[in-house]
Amino acid sequence: MKGTRKREARGTQKSKAKGVKAKKKFLRADIIFPFIVILFVVFCFPLNESLTMAKRGGIKGPSDDWYEALSWMRENTPDPGVDYYALYPEDYTYPESAYSVMSWWDYGHWITRIAHRIPVANNFQQGIGGPHQGNTPGACVFFITKNESEANKVADALDMRYVVTDFMMADAMESYNNKYWAIALWANETPGCEMYLTERGTVFKMDEKYFNTMVTKLHMFDGREIIYKGEYVGKSSSIMPFHTKPLRHYRLVYESSKHVFPHVVLNAATEDVQAWKSYHGMNYTEKLLAFEQELHSGFHDPKNPDLFRWTPSFISPVSFVKVFEYVKGARIKGSAPNGSIVAIVTNITTNQGREFIYSQTTISNGSYEFVVPYSTEGPVEGGTNFDVLASPYIMRSGHLENETIAWDIEKEVEVDEREVIEGKTVSVDLLLLPS
């Protein structure tokens, strides 16, 4: 990474043939032919064919979702100014245009190879950071923190511009494949969720700590504010109340096409939790939206009526891989009546057609200020060529009336991309005009 990041120099092997006398002037045909075949097999198959062969042969490699996301990143994010094919000394100084990409270490080589971008952490387990690596800033520190400002410090220290997450990184329920616990372990943090066996069956408990980690707020909630009152799941498992605050400097810029839908499987007779499972590989369609409503209500498994499948209201189908951009954010500030409730809201439509609401709320002390990560007027030249669209922001100020908010004034606000990237101020007063 630029500044604090060190790039491994690519070594070149010098020929040792000098001074060694060749025993034969010509190679035999029976040696040449197998060598040509090896060259053809290793180097001549295209990448997509190699990926297909790898999947059929059981070799682990990037899934279609990862390949989609990183191919998009290569084509739609600014060139970091580092030649992918060049040779560099170990003490190479990165240009000002260089930046890093935050993800878990498992995916570092994919980011390098497919996206041609510089990962914070790689498969040599460099860049994980935290207590096991001298308390340095790194991936485990960024993803496990509950405080956005602490995550920003890590991002700034590592010249980070993008974050790539996948469902496994946030899958504390182990409904698909859990990498979240490894992140917590590297950070020496308790994960905020428990899973253990008793005589009555498997017990799952999830609390606010898990839901407020950066990896969960990003991948599961898109940086949105979520308020959940908590509830029991079956007889012995529970989801504790939690409140996640909206992220102000991270915006979704891409999500892959396939979605995952985690849910609880209960014994219909005893109401004991059997496990968390997930439906996966689904495109975002009207059929999936209808299924979401069905799973929120719960239903008996048609193949096994003894099992009951259900998911809490805050869980929705989630894309397998997501890309977020770290931005300064536009500052929207102005005057509002002292003690009034001030809110800002926009509707986000992702590149897959999924919609969600991004909002913030505050109490005015005569003035207010929001920092928002989404622009409403699309990409600019030289920036991220995103296809995640935000509607004009709706701003309101109001007061409580019989425990219900009565809005007194409403304004529509456009925010351009430069204001988001450069952290510019947009002034909007929310004051009632004298009658």
Which residues make Cβ contacts (< 8 Å) with residue 175, sequence separation at least 6? 260, 262, 263, 275, 276, 277, 278
State mean pLDDT over 312-339: 97
pLDDT more than 70, % of the chain: 86
Mean pLDDT, to the nearest integer, of 18-43? 40
Query: Six-digit token pair at 327?
Result: 């931005």
At 200 the pLDDT is: 67
**Taking all residues of the chain, what is their mean pLDDT, rounded to a whole number?**
87
Pick from 240, 298, 245: which is nearest to 271 by CA?
298
Query: So what's the pLDDT on residue 231?
Result: 86
Most confident residue range from 24-33, 51-60, 201-210, 288-297: 288-297
Residue 403: pLDDT over 80? yes
From 169, 213, 161, 167, select the one nearest 325 (Cα to Cα).
161
Q: How far apart are CA 54 and CA 61, in angstroms?
A: 7
Per-residue CA distances from 203 to 65, 171, 195 (Å): 32, 16, 6
Give the burial class of 412: count Cβ atoms within 10 A of its Cβ; 0-12 exposed, 13-18 middle, 19 or more buried: exposed
Residue 121 to residues 89, 158, 313: CA-CA distances in angstroms? 20, 11, 34
Whether the pLDDT of residue 371 is over 50: the answer is yes
Sketch out the chain's domains with CATH numbers. 64-84+93-323 (3.40.50.12610), 328-427 (2.60.40.3390)
Between strands 330-335 and 425-427, the pairing is parallel
Label residue 38 by pLDDT band (50, 70, 90): very low
Q: Is 280's pLDDT higher than 80? A: yes
Cα–Cα distance, 77 to 126 (Å, whole number):
24
Instruction: State pLDDT tens for residues 54-82.
Output: 443 344 789 999 999 999 999 999 999 99
Q: Each residue of 274-307: b (16+ CB within 10 Å) or e?
A: bbbbbbbebebeeebeebbeebeeeeeeeeeeeb
Distances (CA, A) of 237 to 164, 201, 206, 251: 31, 10, 9, 33
Residues 6 or more apart from 187 whose CB is under 8 A from it?
A: 130, 131, 140, 141, 143, 144
Output the DSSP codes for 320-348. Answer: SEEEEEE---EEEEEE--TT-EEEEEEEE
> Residue 377's closest CA among 414, 342, 410?
414
pLDDT band at 99 (very low <50, low <70, confident <90, very high): very high
Give the DSSP H or E segment for 204. strand 201-206
Phi, psi (degrees; rounded to nearest 5) at 366: 110, -25
In this predicted structure, the answer to whether residue 4 has a pLDDT above a threshold of 50 is no
